[in-house]
Amino acid sequence: MFTELNSILNATPDSFTQGEFILVSDRQSDASFLIHHFLSFYLRARCKVCFLGLVQSFSHYSAISQRLGVSLTQAREKGQLIFLEGLKESLSILIPQETTTGSQAMDFLRDPTVGLQRLYEFVRSSVSSDGGGEEGVEEWGPPVLLVDDVSVLLSLGVSAGAVLDFSHYCRATVCSQLQGNIVMLVRCHGEEAEDDGSDEGSEWLLKGLTHQCSLTLHVQGLPTGYCRDIHGQVEVCWRRRRGDGQHTQKKLFQYKVHDKGASFFAPGTSSAVL
């Protein structure tokens, strides 16, 4: 958990905004350190976390979380963390075995045209059941959905439109109905593309998700190139709806990732637009 980032977002495990859809994106850089931050943050906040790990194994996330002072194994054993290991689930579908038993969340791999309904149903059941009131079962705070990373679904044959539908239904359930939070990572490869009318790429997906979210953190490399002391920059953008329309505030921070955290440096760039 990165205390400097918490200060920037004005959040602590004891006090944070509920009902937020946080979009993390990167370009020619790696924003995965933010996913690890939010995972440890919400577990410390005693939230019920549903984590769709589509790009790495459970042991990978567990090892990094251990360095941040959080045990994913204990969180999963206590029922606080529901983890979907996308790599293992995909393998069980693509190379079926008689002894393999798993969830049906990744059934779209058998037929991408069916969309992500089963994946949404997995999310809904995970965040809706908190075990509260049952003897010997701990009661958790507001639910949180983390996805790393949603753009992987495009490479698995799912259309960008289906991914946007999935995020819309998740937002309606997690953010609106249950007053929980969503954190999604989407990756854009290469330089920013011109708008060519294509509605199936990661750029179009990023634009669609940006319209849905209330907070974006966009990670990219330094415009001046490699620097040993600074790893890149993060543009933080808050979107708030008011009576006279949507207000947007942006701030730019440079960062350096350490083994157990990250340092953020504000170069003084800030803007507010209507």
Task: Look up the CATH number of the domain holding residue 162.
Answer: 3.40.50.300
- pLDDT confidence of residue 96: 67
Mean pLDDT for 62-89 is 93
Of 131 and 184, the structure prediction assigns the larger pLDDT to: 184
Number of alpha carbons in the 13 Å side-chain half-sphere of residue 59 = 2
Selection from 147, 22, 150 nearest residue 82 by Cα: 147
Q: How far apart are the first and last CA of the chain?
A: 32
pLDDT at 274 over 50: no
Q: How far apart are CA 81 and CA 39, in angstroms?
A: 10
Quote the pTM value: 0.89
Mean pLDDT for 181-189 is 92
**What is the domain extent for residue 48?**
3-273
pLDDT in tens, 195-243: 444 556 889 999 999 999 999 999 998 888 777 788 889 999 998 776 6
Query: Which amino acid is present at 88?
Result: K
With bands split at pLDDT 50, 70 and 90, how would you rate the model's confidence at 191?
A: low
Q: How far apart are CA 182 and CA 188, in angstroms?
A: 19
Structural domain total, the chain: 1
- pLDDT confidence of residue 107: 83
pLDDT at 19 over 70: yes
